[in-house]
């Protein structure tokens, strides 16, 4: 199965991606983890991305597409994947469409997790990350609404999109996702 997972910051995409990958036996790629590791390791990519990440803005499309291209071309994801944190812009979505076609991947299915904004702020403040201040969180949610929500519309036109209620326990949400995936 070839999956993308969407939802606002704090919706539980990373947690659900790991669970789904484990239960379906597919590869998980979190662009956020890749970027945080690059920042921690002070790689060239990390130095470029650090200031952008800390401000709550999105890293450039070129950097993100390069990360995904490298991950997809190495063959480890040929038997299935879930991409967490990509694409976040319409330009990235268009680039991903081209990459998947060029590399011979089938169409992706999209999991779109919905969570109300008050719950998102509460979750993010509770996870203890240095860059999770209330102002940065509100900025991230604004960026999500403006830049990432249109990506969901892009996939509604061409893919199967599963809209999932993201309130509840981790297991309840995961059960909803797996039930929807089994139905297709």
* DSSP conformation letters of 20-55: HHHHHT-EEEEHHHHHHHHHHTT-HHHHHHHHHHHH
Q: For tokens 């967490």, name the residue.
A: 84
Look at the domain 2-178 and name its fold.
Answer: Rossmann fold (3.40.50)
Q: Do 150 and 58 form a contact (C-beta atoms < 8 A)?
A: no
Q: For tokens 């469409």, name the residue.
A: 97
**pLDDT score at 32:** 78
Half-sphere exposure of 87 (CA within 13 A, CB side): 26
Residue 34 has pLDDT above 80, yes or no: no
DSSP calls for 66-90: HHHHHHHHTSTTTT-EEEES---SH
125 φ, ψ (degrees, to nearest 5): -65, -30
Closest-CA residue to 80 (of 159, 14, 25): 25
**pLDDT score at 93:** 95
Q: For tokens 């947690």, name the residue.
A: 15
**pLDDT score at 69:** 85
**CB atoms < 10 A from the CB of 135, how many?**
8
Chain segment 67-93, per-residue pLDDT in tens: 788 888 878 898 999 999 899 889 999
Break the chain into its structural domains and give their ranges.
2-178
Q: Do 166 and 17 form a contact (C-beta atoms < 8 A)?
A: no
Closest-CA residue to 64 (of 43, 39, 40, 91): 91
Residue 141 has pLDDT above 90, yes or no: yes
Sequence-separated (6 or more) residues with CB below 8 Å from residue 39: 46, 47, 49, 50, 53
> Which pTM value belongs to this model?
0.85
Query: Band of the pLDDT at 144, cuts 50, 70, 90?
Result: very high
């Amino acid at each position: 199965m070839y999956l993308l997972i969407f939802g606002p910051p704090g919706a539980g995409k990373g947690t659900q991606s790991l669970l789904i990958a484990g239960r379906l036996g597919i590869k998980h790629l979190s662009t956020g983890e890749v970027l945080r590791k690059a920042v921690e390791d002070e790689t060239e990519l990390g130095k470029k991305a650090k200031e952008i990440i800390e401000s709550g803005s999105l890293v450039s499309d070129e950097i993100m597409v390069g990360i995904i291209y490298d991950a997809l071309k190495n063959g480890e994801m040929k038997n299935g994947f879930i991409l967490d944190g990509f694409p976040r812009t319409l330009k990235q979505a268009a680039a991903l469409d081209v990459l998947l076609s060029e590399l011979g991947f089938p169409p992706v299915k999209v999991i779109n997790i919905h969570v109300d904004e008050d719950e998102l702020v509460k979750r993010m403040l509770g996870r203890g990350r240095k860059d999770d201040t209330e102002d940065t969180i509100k900025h991230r949610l604004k960026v999500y609404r403006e830049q990432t929500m249109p990506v969901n519309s892009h996939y509604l036109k061409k893919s199967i999109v599963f809209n999932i209620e993201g309130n509840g326990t981790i297991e309840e949400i995961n059960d909803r996702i797996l039930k929807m995936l089994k139905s297709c």
